[in-house]
Structure 1
């Protein structure tokens, strides 16, 4: 019975991974350089990716940094990218239009492969929340992901060279007061740059940057007032502009 239950659970998780999708590819500098993302529905044995291992979705915070225990994979790779270069995450599919997209980075101490993502300090480099309309009937960052299955941002041109984790998160708000987090991380080696790093309120811990009671997390898009509210604050710190 226990073995059968595990088999059913495994099948469910695979179906959820396929249904919601994940970052299948990271594209650096247009289409010139591509790297495979992590494949959570395949065996980890033999996988070589710049993506950190991850599961499917999270409704709790203990693994919110990279959707795993904080570790690199056995076949972990890192992508070299010049500061100021565009990086695009591509998803296999995405099915939830309501909610924000955020991109964070964290500087590693030495090699990122020896760093736990849970112990790093993170800063936000991009976000797309409520674009237009109301909380209940508006256009969201997640809706844009559904159209293109991709999200592009630039590594800050002034960022100091070094090894970093980059973290893309889709926060799905389609279930009332039951937010679903889909964070994924990848390893980068940033070159060039202007030697700057964020400080103060731009730096946060994950977990720690927000909670389930955060007004940007605990959202009921079906409530009566949500049909008229036209403002939304994306959870977490302000976006670091490179200054």
Structure 2
């Protein structure tokens, strides 16, 4: 389902105050089909998308924010859509281009809605991780990060829906954690979309977490100061959250 909402979102991005510094997912591609994202700063009236609503390009900055699961407000569109995707196929999220941050990890989660996703509350779901990329090379203070790769790939990120994932209704949650601001203010950029997975397997996804609750405010990977003297020589970084389901 192609939509001119995507192009309107680009205009909104250019007009929004402070938009040059932040942003979010503007569209998705599943199996060659493009789905528009929700357009923040525009009225939600009449918008339909597979993506849950989000209101601002600004990041979430605390691990206890009630909107950490699917951004603010994380509610449904009218009508709320879901995209059908086959287990084992790929999904690509397109962020505003160019994405302005290159320091920090990329994380992708999913959660079983246990029924109709439009009736699900994101903060009550059990989220499991299907993809991640942290420090890819170099040092924490001067290295190549998952977000740097995202920017190099046309501000997009492609993940595979696990082939073993049982068929059903799921939310997919893309999240960037920008840590360029130092230890005082991590920047979380979560976005959620609704999927119907078909042709699935018999796996048991896990481990799972809830949001908020999946991250700790004292996690050294979240409150890290990448500009500190010690970080100039550190070549490892532990990505927050659970391990990727394999």
Query: TM-score when scaled to structure 2?
Result: 0.88
Alpha-carbon distance, 1:21 to partner: 2.8
Map 1:44-193; keep pairs closer than 5 Å.
44-54=44-54, 55-56=56-57, 57-60=59-62, 61-93=65-97, 94-148=99-153, 149-177=155-183, 178-193=185-200
Greater shift, 36-45 or 166-175, is seen at 36-45
Alpha carbons 1:71, 1:115 under 8 Å: kept: no
Following TM superposition, the consecutive aligned residue runs of length 4 or more in structure 1 with deviations greater than 6 angstroms are none
Alpha-carbon distance, 1:73 to partner: 2.0
For residue 24 of structure 1, what is the aligned residue in structure 2? 26
Alpha carbons 1:17, 1:40 under 8 Å: kept: no
CA distance in 1 between partners of 2:77 and 2:113 (Å): 16
For residue 202 of structure 2, what is the aligned residue in structure 1? 195
Call closer, same or farther: CA 1:80–1:18 in 2, change over 3 Å. farther
Secondary structure in structure 2 of the residue aligned to 1:127: strand
Secondary structure in structure 1 of the residue aligned to 2:224: coil
Q: Provide structure 2 residue ranges, at least 5 long, that are not aligned to the other structure.
A: 1-12
Alpha-carbon distance, 1:37 to partner: 1.0
Alpha carbons 2:20, 2:100 under 8 Å: kept: no
Alpha carbons 1:70, 1:118 under 8 Å: kept: no
Secondary structure in structure 2 of the residue aligned to 1:226: helix
Q: CA RMSD in A?
A: 1.6
Alpha carbons 1:120, 1:205 under 8 Å: kept: yes
Alpha carbons 1:99, 1:173 under 8 Å: kept: yes
For residue 42 of structure 1, what is the aligned residue in structure 2? 42
* Per-residue deviation, residues 46-92 of structure 1 (Å, max 9, x unmatched): 11110101133101222110012442222211000010010000112
1:231 aligns with 2:236: yes
For residue 7 of structure 2, what is the aligned residue in structure 1? none
Which residue of 212, 217, 225 maps to 1:212? 217
CA distance in 2 between partners of 1:116 and 1:203 (Å): 16
Secondary structure in structure 1 of the residue aligned to 2:17: helix
* Per-residue deviation, residues 85-112 of structure 1 (Å, max 9, x unmatched): 1000011221111000000000002100
CA distance in 2 between partners of 1:81 and 1:155 (Å): 8
Secondary structure in structure 2 of the residue aligned to 1:133: strand
CA distance in 1 between partners of 2:179 and 2:43 (Å): 30
Query: TM-score when scaled to structure 1?
Result: 0.89
CA distance in 1 between partners of 2:234 and 2:18 (Å): 31
Q: Provide structure 1 residue ranges, at least 5 long, that are not aligned to the other structure.
A: 1-10
Alpha-carbon distance, 1:175 to partner: 0.5
